[in-house]
Amino acid sequence: MSAITEFVSTGKPVSAGERIPAGDAAAALSDDDLLQRYAWPDGDGVRIRLNFVTSLDGAVTVGGVSGPLGGEADHRVFDLLRRQAHVVLLGAGTARDEGYGAMRVDEASGAWRQAHGLAAHPAFALVSGRANLDPGSDIFANAPTRPIVFTLASAAAERRAALAEVAEVVVVGETSLDIAGLVAELHERGLTDVLCEGGPRLASALFDADAVAELCLSLDSLAVGGSGPRLTSGVAAFSRRFHLAGALRAEDLLLLRYRRARD
């Protein structure tokens, strides 16, 4: 298991070819330590936490998927963030490109969740404006609880009807996604601690609506070039300031946590 520690600079200059020394083994954070670092802040209402990994030069994909980025430490945090969430929110593009299956956590996470008063598995909410998800896929066929599909009134009626056989289909907007409506639907279901696992189009809509409370950003030390998407793609420019709320490291990977600045 790759060691994750607090990010601490020695305060001394780093010579060419060196890196800031990694924390010693004793400083490695346990899963409980990490869960504490990533605990949801107190507060009412829906909080959306976005989790992304990027290359050093800002790409969120390498060869069309995020898999080559982040490595073991990022996967560990990814799983622990799921462990704490009421619901995982996902764009249909990511579900299709990354081959998502049903929303199930492992046994240790399930036990932790139940000990903390949560359902054994997080709920799964997918956003597909065109209702373009395969109703026969593992996402639905193997789901521990009926997933939610957020879609638009403009989606083809047959596709919505087919998905309604296997999911709760909720219309949030006529021709464009109504984020406030989506948030209200989650709130109504008591799904307030929301982990959004992407992708860029959904993330853009959430940033644009100023609905991102927290960004968990894993910064990989690999630069990749190319024309792959950034964390936000395809929306007009916006400006949202965040405060740094945490910085961990695993070798050269930084695990950063930013909270929306409200001051």
Ligand X SMILES: NC(=O)c1ccc[n+]([C@@H]2O[C@H](COP(=O)([O-])OP(=O)(O)OC[C@H]3O[C@@H](n4cnc5c(N)ncnc54)[C@H](OP(=O)(O)O)[C@@H]3O)[C@@H](O)[C@H]2O)c1
Q: Which stretch binds ligand X (CB under 6 A): 10-18, 29-37, 40-48, 58-66?
A: 58-66
Spell out the residues 6+ positions from residue 165 whose beta carbon is closer than 8 angstroms to its own: 135
Region binding ligand X by CB under 6 A among candidate stretches 29-37, 113-121, 123-131, 243-251: 123-131
Q: Which is nearer to ligand X, 118 or 149 (CB)?
A: 149
Contacts of residue 228, defined as CB under 8 A and 6 or more positions apart, other chains included, come to 59, 60, 61, 62, 64
Tell me if the bond preceding 190 is cis, omega within 30° of 0: no
Binding mask 73-92 for ligand X (x = CB under 6 A): ------------------xx
Place of tokens 């047959």: 158
55 part of the interface to ligand X, by CB under 6 A: no
Cβ-based burial of 61 (10 A; exposed 0-12, middle 13-18, buried ≥19)? buried
Question: Which residue lies nearer to ligand X by CB, 109 or 128?
Answer: 128
Among the listed residues 87, 68, 108, 58, the one whose alpha carbon sits nearest the alpha carbon of residue 194: 87
Show the binding pattern over residues 157-196: x = contacts ligand X (CB under 6 A), - = does not: --------------------x-------------------
Say whether 93 sits in a helix, a strand or coil: helix
Contact 196, 203 (CB under 8 A): yes
Pick from 71, 122, 147, 229 the residue near ligand X by CB under 6 A: 229
Q: Could you tell me the smallest distance in angstroms from the CB atom of residue 228 to ligand X?
A: 8
List residues binding ligand X (CB under 6 A): 52-53, 60-61, 64-66, 69, 91-94, 97-98, 127-130, 132, 177, 197-202, 205, 229
